[in-house]
Amino acid sequence: MSRSLEKSCNITIFGGGNGAHVLSGLSSDVVNANVTVVDTFQDEAERWTKAMAANGFTVKYGNGKDLVQAPGKPKFTVTKEVQKNVEKADVVILCMPAFLHEMVLTSVAPYVPETCPIVGLPGQPGFEYQALFHLRQNGKKGSVMSIETLPWACRIAKYGQEVDVIGTKECIYFSSVDQQSSGYVGAGLVQLIQTLLGAKPVLKREENIIKYTFLYRPTVHPPLMYAKWKNWDGKPLDAAPLFYQGADEEAVKYLDGATNEMIKIADFLQTKYPDMDFSGISSMQDCFIGEYPEQIKDKSTLLSCLKTNQAYDGLVHPMKKTDDGKFVPDFKYRYLMEDVPYGLLIIKQIAEMAGVATPIIDEIILWAQTKLDAEYLKDGKLCFVDRKHGRIPMAFGIKTLEEFVNYCK
C-alpha cells in the first residue's frame, strides 16, 4: 500500500552512509514527500547522483518487496548545497554517526526556517540539548526529535545505487522537545516521521529526557571492547574474533557491572524525583531477551544469551587488516568512538550530578580514553570535553540535573 502525506512537504536529509541510503529511498517513495539529500562529504554527492542516473536506486529487503527507482528517474536528488536546501525545508533529518552532528548543526541552524523541526535519526544521547543549543543560538523555535537508534540494520551494497536492509526493528523510542506550536510539531511531527518510515518500527515516545539517555544503552559495546582488549599484548591475530558470541565471564562482569551502575543511578533519581518515571531500565540479560525473544536459544544466563543469539551469528570485533593479512583491533570504530563520547560520558556526568559512584564505568572510560587519544576522566572526575569531541552536558552549559531537565523543555 502506498504511503502519502496530506500536503507537499520538503524533506532535507543530511547524510551519505548506510542509513541515509535507506531513508532517502524509503521516504522518497511517499506521495507528496519532496526529498533532497545533502551530502557534503568528499565526492559522495557526485558519485551518488551519477550512480542513480545510470543504474537507478534500490532498497533491498530480500523478501520480494524491494523499493526500486528506475535509472534516470530518481525520486530524490543528492547535492552538496546546504543553504538553499535548508532554507526551503519543512523538516531537516540528520542520518549519520553522532560525531558529525556538531558540524552539521552548526551549518544548518543559521538557515533553517524559524519553525522547522530538526530530527536526529538516530539522535542518540544528548542530541536534544545539542540541537536546541544551536537553534536557540540562532533564535529559532523548531522542535527537536531524537530517535534512539537507526530503524534498520543496513549496509550499502553499491554506493548510490543499492542498499541492503538486513533487519527492521519492531519498535524504537524517541524523545521530543517542542518549542512552539506551528509547523510540524508534537503528534504531527511524529506522524510525518512514522509515514516516512512505514509501519515498522513503531515510534514510541519517552517523556523523561534523562531516562531516554539510559535507554540507548552505551553500556553494551564499550564493556565488550574493554573485556576483550584490555590485556591485549599488541600481537596481530590470524582472524577477527567474534564480538558477542566470543564473550566470556570477564565480558559479563563488565557488561553487568556498567549496566547495574546505570540502574543504580536511575533508582537514585527515582527517589529524588518521585514525579518522574525511571522504571523499565532492565538488566542486560532482560534487555537482550526483550530485543531478541525468538533468536536467543538459551536464555538462562547473560553469557548464554550472548553466545546463542542467532542475530549475532558471524558478527566480529571491528578490526583493521595488517599488510601481512593479519588483524588488529580498530579502536576508532563506532563501538568506542561513538559510544564513549556520545554515550558513556553522558551517563557519567548524570552520575556525577546525582552523586552516584560508578567505578566500573570509570574503569572502562579510563581505558577507552587511551585508545581514543583523549582525556575524559582525571583524578576520578569528568573533564570538560569540547563540543567538537563529545556531547557531555557541561559542554552546553548544563551542570545540574535541574538544568538538564529544564534545558530540554
Round to whole Å and give the CA distance between 273 and 400. Answer: 14
Q: Which of 98, 147, 351, 408 binds ligand NAD (CB under 6 A)?
A: 98
| 326-365 exposure pattern, b = at least 16 Cβ within 10 A, e = fewer | ebbbbbebebbbbbbbbbbbbbbbbbbbbebebebbbbbb
* Catalytic residue ranges: 221
Q: Which of 49, 80, 87, 100 binds ligand NAD (CB under 6 A)?
A: 100
Q: Is 80 in the site for ligand NAD (CB under 6 A)?
A: no
Q: Which of 34, 85, 130, 149 binds ligand NAD (CB under 6 A)?
A: 149
CB of 56 to ligand NAD, least distance (A): 20
Q: Which of 56, 97, 186, 198 binds ligand NAD (CB under 6 A)?
A: 97
Q: Is the Cβ of residue 98 or residue 398 nearer to ligand NAD in the bound state? A: 98
Q: Which of 12, 18, 161, 175 binds ligand NAD (CB under 6 A)?
A: 18
Nearest residue to 320 (alpha-carbon basis) of 236, 242, 389:
236
* Sites for ligand NAD among residues 297-336 (CB under 6 A): 334
**Segment interacting with ligand NAD (CB under 6 A) among 17-25, 54-62, 70-78, 179-187:** 17-25
Closest residue to ligand NAD, based on beta-carbon distance: 17
**Segment interacting with ligand NAD (CB under 6 A) among 26-34, 96-104, 191-199, 317-325:** 96-104
Q: Is 236 in the site for ligand NAD (CB under 6 A)?
A: no
Q: Is the Cβ of residue 100 or residue 356 nearer to ligand NAD in the bound state? A: 100
Q: Is 96 in the site for ligand NAD (CB under 6 A)?
A: yes
CB of 236 to ligand NAD, least distance (A): 24
Q: Which of 25, 113, 120, 122 binds ligand NAD (CB under 6 A)?
A: 122
Q: Which of 9, 11, 19, 353 binds ligand NAD (CB under 6 A)?
A: 19
Contact set with ligand NAD (CB under 6 A): 15-20, 39, 41, 44, 96-98, 100, 122, 149-150, 153-154, 334, 338
